[in-house]
Structure 1
């Protein structure tokens, strides 16, 4: 097993002054223990009272002294048993001390006590002190602070009944782990707990130096102006091995007495050899040379180099070879322009060269018919032609034949040409160009253009014919949907019709430039949507409008407040508030309340964190709602949750009673009914009710515990209130409560695809027997309208596939029923969308049934 040692460091800050040793820390390491106490292990203790003062310091000294004496004097061999006994003795001593004092002078103490025996660490924890352990490669906090895990069960505020000195019964929180090399521990007072983040503390403890941790705590205390703080840091490191002994003969330092002893010994040996040479000691054997300190034997080299082979004879060089070839070619080359002498260009004599054979002008009847000259146009072999040349070959031969006939007729009508004059080979003359066949080129261009237009028209006709065939197939399959005997066959026929319509849509001829096919496609699409609404109860939004987008690039909305239409209002401030809608930011740390014009526009911050309202400072806005004639905001500040309302156009503030103990995990849902506030998400599985006008008092627990026994409320994601309270689960089921009792549970009927993830809902009507539920199905990008009483699905609402607006991040919605036709206000990620609710689906076979 690897041997380890511990390094420790302390920090003591008393009334803003740093001290070397802390009165609240007890440190007992192995050097200060005898053999009997060493078997118990090393002790690291930090105590903290719930307030400061002389009485608090005296109480801490009592606890520290009794813990030390009780632990090491206990006869048990179990560290855990001895630690429990010592804590019970300290609690009893402090309780007796407090019993003699009046209530206002009694002190309650928390502690963090760690025992390190070999590599095993035993930790006892009593709040409000804080402990951090870096063991087995993982950082743990005891207890876990809200900044690390808001949902942890041990983050409740400090309760005096659980501290030392409050009662005769104490139950500390115990923890055990293995502390190997590289592990670390930090014991600190509660003032450091909210200042230490997981990442920075993990980095500091992994340095393996307690001084680094203390320096980080010192910086945090200075930055936050702490007046009282104490901390103890301990790290475990491996014991460094001793240096290896040098071999004999190596250079090493010797002490002065050793050198003197060696000199005297050598002198005595010399005297004995002179007096008694026969007793001389034998000569020491020569020691073998150290191979590590001498060079290896070097190879011997000969001064004569190895003879090299003679080079290969390659004959004359390449320059001489090319010169010989040029001379040979010049001598054997025929007479050409560059080989003629200058005198050849001065006279009219023929240049020397081979004589041409005369043409036989005899009777051509007995000769084989043939042309005495090469053809005007020569064709390549068919195998060497490209496909374009092969296709154009008949047209080319036809054109050349016509040209030959026209040329022959023209030659016969003209005078006979003069005989050509012999020209010397060495004389230069201007070369004549062949005439350009403009007529041929024009005819070829016209032919190509005609063929191109013909191909285009043929392609369009084929595509149009193919689109018409797809139209016929789609219409036949829609007719099969009407004639289907049951919903299963209707769904199958509808799927086939959808595939045919997709083929029609992909055809390039079906667009607004082809009115006949475009109008037919529009009619087919309407019939398909009608069949879809009748069979699957699926409707599409017509002309959805994006009212506003989030002003931040990565920001998103989470909730929306739409004021109702009030009649007879004359107050200009109320009218201005009603002409806007309000959106809540999804950021839980820096959430804002935005105001947006009802007809659309830019989202303007309406209430922001850090804004001063009276003596209060606005925290992160978590929820908003409409109450009577104004918008209300709920924020989360370090000292609890606040209630913000307006008076005369200015914000006012009131703290919600007992809200400092709320730790909402996800979304905080606040609803208002008859002046009362109902809150879901502040306490696990509970609805809190603040009575009208008493928002500063502690709330009531509205749900009846006996009624919800055995009911799973952990998946509830949203709440609505209209006299009854509706709780929505993530699977789409709705629990209806009245007077704190569960009265009904509504389950929507099965759909395809099924309902898997619902984020929110909106409730219309008055009471549980009137109106509808509108569910936000985030996973499938749809809004589901469900009947309140039976759970029957009325319709599903989506955006069209070709629409510029898509439901890809649905969060919540509000249904405004103050107009003749309900209007949907939808929160879709960073967008606020408004659209009219489609009409209810009509029966698809109503014509046949009528």
Structure 2
């Protein structure tokens, strides 16, 4: 869109029928100059539901957290919105952990960047969008708005319930005349999209929110209306509202009345959390609470009645966690029962057993004439107490031990989860090198937590954000489309190399010593059905006078340098095969096979054929002749040149020769001499690399390495500088853990990769 869009803002808050001039739960923020092009202008509305006093102050706090977290957050708009919502969620979650009254929070946020609008929503709040006169509520289904609270957490997520939440986020395209309405549940739950449409059509800017509240017949409602019109300057539209909103356009809090008093929360004592002033971490141990006081300019209460520590009229358990209270009561009950039953049992045994101290004392007092006293029999009631009491006591002890074991497991779980959260927060503020180590620690703590409690949404959510941050740090680009072209099911299959020329795809299977030929469709995402056998050559087959024994490698040989045709060359331990798509396979001459020790890879360059012999520490160069490569080869390395080719698994040629070693090293040679080549910027060294690919600069500008150990394809510059790396999406359940062959078509933006026994053809993402 050429014309610049200007937001026209209207805010409206009604409390018990009285309009509020300075709503505490809304904010409109102009993007700071240094992030304006990336982060856009932010509009936020928050809502908190619950029975606790001072909800307006908590809403104000959550609003500040969302606003102050969004712009500094690393990543783009959606990442910033997700982190801002989770920051507010974590604060409210910790507040709920330290207080008996559960509070539920909601956020409706919108970010405008030019003609793009990104919205985020969670909990009891909603956003109405009017795009080209089409009205939609976000989300369309909500238990908080539609009155069905019996749905699952996925249907009704909210702030303050779990450690981590996943907000509803979507992207919209704006046109002049479009509008969005950020609304609380009091309003959004009472009006339909049709009523919103009628109100927007009939009302002028400045009265839309008021009319919606009247339509909903609500005495308490809050809404922030943003209309997008064509305009030259953004400042007047936002500036006109600066005196009405509680947060200034520059991001600072508005001044508050100095006569207002500080608001105190009873929160567990904890280490300070990075980036969250006044944030108290939930502790696993049930230690007595301390008062965490928020005296900053943004938090005020009408009186001091909110103090929850130091009240002498509270019972002895005040300030302790529910686990501590239950444990103390249960312990007291068990001890009392043991004492009661133990005393009764002692008395009964004392009376019932012969030779007890009571009998002996009676005999001594009576003298010789005294007759022995008959043993006093215990009462029937006492016997019943013992009969029923002992099993009950045993059961109570077992239950107490079982409960205490579960309690300890819960503490271990919370400890691991809190440690993971802390490391994650530290990683966001650290350098890439430090952040990588911290994120590894986060994974370890999450694994510990998962070993205690499986299938926890908060663990999954934290794993997701950790993976996103790790991808961002390590410049990982996820492959969103990874079609499987073919799966080879024969036992013994070991795919090794793939070559693509036009629509022809050639696959080398070194396990069963065979080569396949397939044909791509016009799009290049699928293979056409085979016409006859797709087998080009296979072990035991005779091509002219050459019997196929053990295939080594294959390469496409272009014409040039005295070679008249372009063909596929397949090297067997007994000779060389040339395949022309029009004329079929033929055996051609190659000199000196008997002198090779351990040939592992072949290459081509302007008609010349190269064989890398790791056993001989030499690369043999064959020049073309009329019948193939009849002349003895030229050694690429002159006598006296020191090289070590042991451990080489593949090579690629673009004029220079690149030799890939199994230990991850890459050697570069030009003109028969080693050239310095250092891999820089890579987050992790190569682990079991299996293939390397490049070509002439006019065809391929980078090096590509199949790194099976790290389940990725890595792109390097031809000088060794790390560019980016590619991995499939986790949800696609495709893992590059057995990569073998690799071919890259940069011009067509396509990769062809062999992984296990499958051939894949993912798109090559465009360079950022």
Say yes or no: TM over 0.5: no
Higher RCO (CA < 8 A, seq sep 6+): 2
TM-score (norm 1): 0.37
Decide which structure has the larger Cα Rg and report it. 1
Under a length normalisation based on structure 2, what TM-score does the superposition of the two structures give?
Answer: 0.40
